[in-house]
Structure formats: C-alpha cells, structure tokens
Amino acid sequence: MARVAIVTGGTRGIGEAISLALTDLGITVAANYGGSDENARAFTERTGIKSYKWNVADHQACLDGVAQVEAELGPVDIVVNNAGITRDGTLMKMSYEAWDEVIRVNLGGCFNMAKATFTGMKSRGFGRIVNIGSINGQAGQYGQVNYAAAKSGIHGFTKALAQEGARFGITVNAIAPGYIDTDMVAAVPPEVLEKIVAKIPAGRLGQASEIARGVAFLVGENSGFVTGSTLSINGGQHMY
Ligand code: NDP
C-alpha cells in the first residue's frame, strides 16, 4: 500500500512542489493549508491531490487534522513541516503579536505535527519527518528576529527529535532553502531582492522544485541512515 504523507502548506509555493514530487514517487499526499480556500480548490482540481485546511499553530487542530487524514487515506508515515509565514520588521518596530505568530506557526507547527504523528510512526517502525528551515535561521537576517529565531529553532528541534526517533526507524531532517522564487519572496521589495540575488553565487533565485528534490531524497525508503541533518539548498549563498 502506498505510504501517506502530509505536507503542511502544501498547496502553493515550495509546498506545492513538494506535494507534486512526493505524488510522483507513488506516495499518497494530503496537502494541508491555512486559509486560501480558492487556491487550495484550484490546486486539488489541477493535481488531484486532496487538500485539508487547518492552522498548524493550533495544537488541537493538528491532532484533528491528522485524525481526519488517517481516516480517509491511512496511517501517516511522512510529515513535511513546510507551512511558514513572515511578519518582518526590526525589533524596535516588531509587535509582540508579530513575534508570537511567527514562532507559533513556523516552530510550533513542527511540534504540533510531530506530536500528532510520532506515536503512530513509532508503532509501525517507520517514519520520515522533514522540517523546512531557512538560510535566515542559519545566518540571521536584518528585520527578522522572529523568523530567524523560529527557523533556527527548527534546526535544533530536528537534531533533538532525530535522536528520539532513530531507534524506531524514524528519521528527522531539515532543509534550509536559500531564496526561492515563491509568493513569500515576491513580498520582498525589488531593490532589496536585487541586492540579495547579487550575493547568490549561482546568480539566481532557486526554484521550488529544487527544494522538493531534496525532500524526495530525505523521505526515500533507502534514506534511513540520514537523520539529524540539515541540507542547505541555496545556490552557494551560505555554506554552513
Ligand atoms: P508561501 O507563502 O508561498 O506558502 C506558504 C504556505 O504555508 C501556504 O500554503 C500557506 O497556506 C501555508 N500556511 C501559512 N500559515 C499556515 C498555517 N498557520 N497553517 C497551515 N498552513 C499555513 O511560502 P513558501 O512556499 O515561500 O515557503 C514555504 C516554506 O519554506 C516556509 O516555511 C518558508 O519559511 C520556507 N522558506 C522559504 C524561502 C523562500 O525563499 N521562499 C526561503 C527559505 C525558507 P495558504 O495558502 O492557505 O495561505
């Protein structure tokens, strides 16, 4: 029977590319999303991949969402924690709400989804968790104390949970994308983006499919000895 994967934020951007790449591998994908119903509907129509709405920052919603996916598609063996948001601003201008929301969605979402699926993975002796971090969690970024802290936290979370999962056939890895051509990066002012691209040795933004390729490797049946690692996919911008 095909394995079942949940990709959070799996209906657009990097997440959409991941949902498609895993489907191509024969995995049954449930694509979670947070609010854009119209986009999710169009995604499901276009791809045939089912979409499920819940807020990854809400612990109970994650438990309920996973239960619904498992009832409809079967036990979840693969989780890709991709949902993420930015609420940028310097510390002086950043509200507590902007701090809190980014930590709760980007980092709290990883905890909530792992809590909802880890016991099942453990009982079946197989699991793959891939957390999408960021180059800005590795290197820091001006105006992003919330996002950099959350993403940096993801890298620590990954290494700690990898140690807990290893004996049970559960791998936990992270990918740290550089700047990828999605809606999130489209929100960066053009003059700032130009300066960022100038610093990327590859001389261009990355494509979502290039991140998905890394995820496809990490969730593979034969990737069981890869755990606790962070794969940087950033065109050479930051070598960690
Ligand atoms: P997008 O903004 O294009 O898409 C974000 C996705 O996350 C959407 O599907 C969105 O759902 C979903 N989402 C947001 N908040 C929630 C929530 N609370 N609950 C459930 N789903 C939610 O982002 P990208 O594709 O650019 O980024 C994907 C991941 O990669 C993020 O974690 C991001 O931080 C990380 N990343 C991105 C980089 C880039 O250059 N783009 C660089 C480094 C890391 P909906 O459609 O409903 O809004």
Tens digits of per-residue pLDDT, 26-45?
999 999 999 999 999 999 99
d(CA 43, CA 88): 28
Residue 239 lies in a domain: no
83 Cα–ligand 1 center, Å = 4
Give residue-wise pLDDT tens across range 48-58.
999 999 999 99
CA distance 113 to 65: 9
Among candidate residues 52, 96, 142, 147, the one labeled active-site is 147
Q: Is 132 in the pocket of ligand 1 (CB under 6 A)?
A: yes
Phi and psi at residue 237, to the nearest 5°: -70, -35
Structure confidence by residue, pLDDT tens digits, 148-172: 999 999 999 999 999 999 999 999 9
In-domain check, residue 28: yes
Nearest by Cα to 34 from 59, 14, 10, 2: 10
Is 25 within a domain? yes
The answer to whether the CB of 117 is under 6 A from ligand 1 is no
* Per-residue H/E/C for 193-237: HHHHHHCCCCCCCECHHHHHHHHHHHCCCCCCCCCCCEEEECCCC
Is the Cα torsion angle 144, 197, 208, 190 positive or negative in sign? positive
Return d(Cα 130, Cα 182) in angstroms, integer: 19
Residue 43's φ and ψ, nearest 5 degrees, are: -60, -45
Q: Is 176 contained in some domain?
A: yes
Give the pLDDT confidence score for residue 127 in this predicted structure: 98
Question: Is residue 177 within 6 Å of ligand 1 at its C-beta?
Answer: yes
- Assess whether the C-beta atom of 9 lies below 6 angstroms from ligand 1: yes
Weakly modelled stretches of the chain, pLDDT under 70? none
The model's pTM is 0.98
Residue 126 dihedral angles phi and psi, to the nearest 5°: -155, 135
Q: What is the pLDDT of residue 187?
A: 87
Model pLDDT, residue 184: 86
In a domain, residue 240? The reply is no
Q: Which of 85, 104, 181 to mutate to test the pocket of ligand 1 (most atoms within 8 A of CB)?
A: 85
Instruction: For residue 181, report the distance from its CA to the centre of ligand 1, in Å.
Output: 12
State how many domains the chain has: 1
In angstroms, what is the span from residue 86 Cα to ligand 1's centroid?
9
Domain containing residue 27: CATH number: 3.40.50.720
- pLDDT given at position 36: 97
Q: Which range of residues forms the domain containing residue 146?
A: 4-233
Q: 79 alpha carbon to ligand 1 midpoint, in Å?
A: 15
Residue 134 CB less than 6 A away from ligand 1: yes
Is 43's C-beta closer than 6 angstroms to any atom of ligand 1?
Answer: no
Q: What is the pLDDT of residue 1?
A: 83
